């Protein structure tokens, strides 16, 4: 059953603790499954709002940094509770705004709450280190201080979980924030900011500006900025990193992926087919951790691909708010058109179309839908030069290549400028250990899909996937604080 559209919501920005309507160009957040349907609307923020938001964050910085970490954490924990109470409502808004299924949308809201709770307990964890001193009567402490005012720029594909995993550690470790979310998902940004306000966040500690990419550029150029965290496309990330480096501002960027699943000859093929399906097509393939390449041992390729196709035949594409739907649309018509263009290019370059799934049933048809698509490129240099092997499509497209044995399969998995995540399917522990040694990625899944991330362990990529420190767990403390090494002696001779 498809849920009826609720009324459109008025978008507002949060500056210095006040919600305000913007003064920039109009912005409409549309439902990609039904593009005529408005989810939210408002006026965008402008570059002068960046100045005001930065001033507010800067004014709030000293007091927030001096607030005990347990008190800062308590705000995050209360915000988590607010999200949990509204999970169904916000999950539906997320599905309508971004296009992932209702189950994934609600799951993502709860995941954001889980992230807030994890950083809510930061005060209970180590806040620094103590070293012995080579000098009598002295200790050496390594303490941590917040960076100051941090810019947060977030993508459309996890409209609340990624903002939570950047903003929660930024705040827990004592920074104040100016946040620019992707303009395709503004409503969920408003919802996260509301939850944090409800949790008791003081005015100016988090400022939210909704608007175009120029806001991000204004943020990185602002002289008051002390750090910048970004997740999004490789092109934008590199431009921001260059601008940040030119100004000496620490930056963390999480960018592209072209993640491989490797299915070895001894793998449990049913388990592997199910996990590859989820990795490639859940969230319509719009995850930086999605499986977009499949390396399958030629000995089992036919049997594996039969299983994958059988699952895809039962995979329903349609309105994401319909509980029977497995996969919704892409976030926008231009995103869908870029994926269609990528597929056409790949076919022109010699890829074979192994499977093209069903589109949505008549009623839900919109140009934002692309059916799940499986391409195969030939083994050898011509195949691995194919656009579908090299470039991140950020959509429901899986590119298959056959390999002769584990060694070749691991080399193919590494055949990418990116190194975010990978999945390997085998029941042989020796091959697992080889994979750990051989596959150069930030995240390796053994017998599970390539996407997924827990908040208490590092998240981020190898090679060109990431820039600067990783996210989550202890890695977040590395980025959002800097150390002061304190040579500590008493005031009287020892
Ligand atoms: C996940 O795999 O569940 O933008 C999270 C992305 C990543 C997050 C992936 N930063 O898709």
Residue 450 CA to ligand 1 center (angstroms) comes to 10
Q: Are 368 and 334 in contact (CB under 8 A)?
A: no
Probe target for ligand 1 pocket from 112, 166, 288, with the most ligand atoms within 8 Å of CB:
288
Residue 231 CA to ligand 1 center (angstroms) comes to 9
Report the pLDDT value the prediction gives residue 207, as an integer from 0 to 100: 99
Q: Kindly list the catalytic residues.
A: 254, 288
Residue 254 CA to ligand 1 center (angstroms) comes to 9
Report the pLDDT value the prediction gives residue 364, as an integer from 0 to 100: 52
Beta bridge partners of 231: 254
In this structure, the residue with its CA closest to atom 1 of ligand 1 is: 452
Residue 310 CA to ligand 1 center (angstroms) comes to 27
Q: Within this chain, do residues 126 and 212 fall inside the same structural domain, yes or no?
A: yes
Q: What CATH code is carried by the domain that includes residue 311?
A: 3.40.309.10
Whether residue 29 lies inside any domain: the answer is: yes
Whether residue 34 lies inside any domain: the answer is: yes
Q: What CATH code is carried by the domain that includes residue 26?
A: 3.40.605.10
Residue 369 CA to ligand 1 center (angstroms) comes to 21
pLDDT band at 438 (very low <50, low <70, confident <90, very high): very high
pLDDT band at 358 (very low <50, low <70, confident <90, very high): confident
What's the pLDDT tens digit per position in 294-330? 999 999 999 999 999 999 999 999 999 999 999 999 9
Probe target for ligand 1 pocket from 98, 108, 158, with the most ligand atoms within 8 Å of CB:
158
Report the pLDDT value the prediction gives residue 493, as an integer from 0 to 100: 76
**From CA 174, how far away is CA 176, in angstroms rounded?**
7
The count of other CB atoms within 10 Å of the CB of residue 25 is 10
Q: Within this chain, do residues 197 and 291 fall inside the same structural domain, yes or no?
A: no
HSE at residue 352, side-chain half, CA atoms within 13 A, is 8
**From CA 336, how far away is CA 329, in angstroms rounded?**
8
Looking at the predicted structure, is the pLDDT value of residue 46 above 70? yes
Comparing C-alpha atoms, which of 179, 199, 4 is closest to residue 85?
199
Whether residue 455 lies inside any domain: the answer is: no
Report the pLDDT value the prediction gives residue 365, as an integer from 0 to 100: 67
> Domain residues for 67?
9-255+465-485
Residue 449 CA to ligand 1 center (angstroms) comes to 12
Looking at the predicted structure, is the pLDDT value of residue 97 above 60? yes
In this structure, the residue with its CA closest to atom 7 of ligand 1 is: 288
Q: Within this chain, do residues 129 and 190 fall inside the same structural domain, yes or no?
A: yes
Residue 170 CA to ligand 1 center (angstroms) comes to 18
Comparing C-alpha atoms, which of 155, 272, 153 is closest to residue 214?
153
Q: Within this chain, do residues 239 and 318 fall inside the same structural domain, yes or no?
A: no
Whether residue 4 lies inside any domain: the answer is: no
Looking at the predicted structure, is the pLDDT value of residue 380 above 90? yes
Looking at the predicted structure, is the pLDDT value of residue 362 above 60? no
Q: Within this chain, do residues 208 and 308 fall inside the same structural domain, yes or no?
A: no
Q: Sheet holding 206-208: strands in order across?
A: 18-20, 13-15, 206-208, 176-180, 149-153, 227-231, 251-254, 466-467
The mean pLDDT of the chain is 96
465 token code pair: 């996937």
> Quick one: DSSP state of residue 418?
E
436 token code pair: 């750990």
Is 379 strand, coil or helix? coil
Comparing C-alpha atoms, which of 377, 425, 422, 379 is closest to residue 403?
379
What's the pLDDT tens digit per position in 189-213? 999 999 999 999 999 999 999 999 9
Q: Within this chain, do residues 250 and 305 fall inside the same structural domain, yes or no?
A: no
- Which atom of ligand 1 sits closest to the CA of residue 254? 10
Q: Within this chain, do residues 236 and 124 fall inside the same structural domain, yes or no?
A: yes
What's the pLDDT tens digit per position in 131-188? 999 999 999 999 999 999 999 999 999 999 999 999 999 999 999 999 999 999 999 9
Whether residue 109 lies inside any domain: the answer is: yes
The burial class, CB within 10 Å (0-12 / 13-18 / 19+), for 20 is: middle
* H or E, element range at 144: strand 138-146
Residue 287 CA to ligand 1 center (angstroms) comes to 5
Report the pLDDT value the prediction gives residue 385, as an integer from 0 to 100: 98
Q: How far is CA 310 from CA 9, 301, 305, 313, 314, in A?
A: 41, 14, 8, 5, 7
Report the pLDDT value the prediction gives residue 1, as an integer from 0 to 100: 53
The DSSP result for 445-473, as a single string, is EESS-S----TTS-B--EETTEESS-BSH
Whether residue 164 lies inside any domain: the answer is: yes
Q: Positive or negative CA dihedral for 213, 338, 103, 118?
A: negative
In this structure, the residue with its CA closest to atom 4 of ligand 1 is: 288
Looking at the predicted structure, is the pLDDT value of residue 436 above 70? yes
**pLDDT more than 90, % of the chain:** 96
In this structure, the residue with its CA closest to atom 10 of ligand 1 is: 288
Whether residue 3 lies inside any domain: the answer is: no
Q: Within this chain, do residues 292 and 245 fall inside the same structural domain, yes or no?
A: no
Probe target for ligand 1 pocket from 100, 109, 162, with the most ligand atoms within 8 Å of CB:
162
Name the domain count of the chain.
2
Comparing C-alpha atoms, which of 428, 430, 458 is closest to residue 444?
458
Q: Within this chain, do residues 29 and 149 fall inside the same structural domain, yes or no?
A: yes
Q: Within this chain, do residues 79 and 195 fall inside the same structural domain, yes or no?
A: yes
**From CA 84, how far away is CA 434, in angstroms rounded?**
41
Is 199 strand, coil or helix? coil
The burial class, CB within 10 Å (0-12 / 13-18 / 19+), for 463 is: middle
What's the pLDDT tens digit per position in 68-93? 999 999 999 999 999 999 999 999 99
In this structure, the residue with its CA closest to atom 6 of ligand 1 is: 288
Q: What is the pTM of this model?
A: 0.97
Region 252-256 average pLDDT:
96
**Ligand 1 surroundings by CB, under 6 angstroms:** 155, 157-158, 162, 231, 254, 287-289, 451-453
Q: Within this chain, do residues 192 and 211 fall inside the same structural domain, yes or no?
A: yes
- Which atom of ligand 1 sits closest to the CA of residue 155? 4
Q: Within this chain, do residues 98 and 160 fall inside the same structural domain, yes or no?
A: yes
Comparing C-alpha atoms, which of 238, 240, 254, 60 is closest to residue 146?
60
Comparing C-alpha atoms, which of 211, 99, 215, 202 is closest to residue 159?
99
Region 267-285 average pLDDT:
98
Q: How far is CA 213 from CA 231, 274, 276, 439, in A?
A: 13, 37, 34, 35
The count of other CB atoms within 10 Å of the CB of residue 59 is 14
Packing angle of the helix pair 161-172, 473-480 (nearest 10 deg): 60
Is 177 strand, coil or helix? strand
């Amino acid at each position: 059953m498809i849920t009826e559209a609720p009324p459109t919501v008025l978008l507002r920005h949060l500056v210095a603790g006040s919600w305000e309507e913007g003064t920039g160009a109009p912005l409409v957040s549309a439902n990609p499954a039904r593009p005529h349907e408005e989810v939210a609307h408002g006026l965008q923020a402008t570059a002068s709002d960046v100045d005001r938001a930065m001033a507010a964050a800067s004014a709030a910085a000293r007091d927030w940094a001096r607030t005990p970490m347990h008190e800062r954490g308590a705000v995050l924990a209360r915000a988590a509770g607010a999200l949990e109470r509204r999970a169904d409502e916000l999950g539906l808004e997320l599905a309508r705004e971004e296009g992932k299924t209702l189950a994934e949308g609600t799951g993502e809201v709860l995941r954001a709450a889980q992230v807030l709770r994890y950083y809510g307990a930061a005060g209970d964890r180590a806040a620094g280190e103590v070293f012995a001193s080579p000098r009598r009567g002295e200790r050496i402490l390594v303490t941590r201080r917040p960076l100051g005012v941090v810019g947060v720029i977030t993508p459309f594909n996890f409209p609340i979980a990624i903002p939570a995993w950047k903003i929660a550690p930024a705040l827990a470790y004592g920074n104040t924030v100016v946040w620019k979310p992707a303009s395709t998902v503004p409503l969920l940004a408003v919802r996260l900011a509301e939850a944090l306000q409800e949790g008791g966040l003081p005015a100016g500690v988090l400022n939210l500006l909704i608007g175009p990419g120029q806001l991000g550029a204004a943020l990185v150029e602002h002289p008051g900025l002390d750090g910048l965290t970004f997740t999004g496309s490789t092109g934008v990330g590199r431009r921001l990193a260059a601008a940040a480096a030119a100004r000496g501002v620490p930056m963390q960027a999480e960018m592209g992926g072209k993640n491989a699943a490797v299915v070895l000859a001894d793998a449990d093929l049913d388990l592997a087919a199910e996990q590859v399906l989820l990795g490639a097509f859940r969230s319509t393939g719009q995850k930086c951790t999605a499986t977009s390449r499949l390396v399958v041992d030629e000995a089992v390729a036919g049997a594996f691909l039969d299983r994958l196709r059988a699952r895809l035949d039962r995979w329903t594409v349609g309105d994401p708010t319909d509980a029977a739907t497995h996969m919704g649309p892409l976030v926008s018509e231009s995103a869908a058109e870029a994926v269609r263009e990528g597929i056409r290019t790949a076919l022109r370059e010699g890829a074979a179309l192994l499977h093209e799934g069903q589109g949505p049933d008549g009623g839900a048809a919109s140009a934002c839908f692309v059916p799940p698509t499986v391409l195969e490129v030939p083994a050898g240099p011509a195949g691995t030069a194919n656009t579908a092997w090299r470039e991140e499509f950020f959509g429901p497209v899986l590119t298959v290549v056959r390999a002769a044995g584990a060694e070749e399969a691991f080399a193919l998995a590494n055949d990418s400028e990116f190194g975010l995540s990978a999945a390997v399917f085998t029941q042989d522990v020796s091959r697992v250990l080889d994979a750990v040694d051989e596959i150069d990625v930030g995240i390796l899944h053994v017998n599970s899909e390539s996407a997924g991330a827990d908040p208490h362990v590092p998240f981020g990529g190898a090679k060109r996937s990431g820039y600067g420190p990783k996210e989550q767990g202890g890695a977040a403390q590395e980025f959002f604080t800097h150390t002061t090494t304190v040579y500590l002696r008493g005031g009287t001779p020892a």
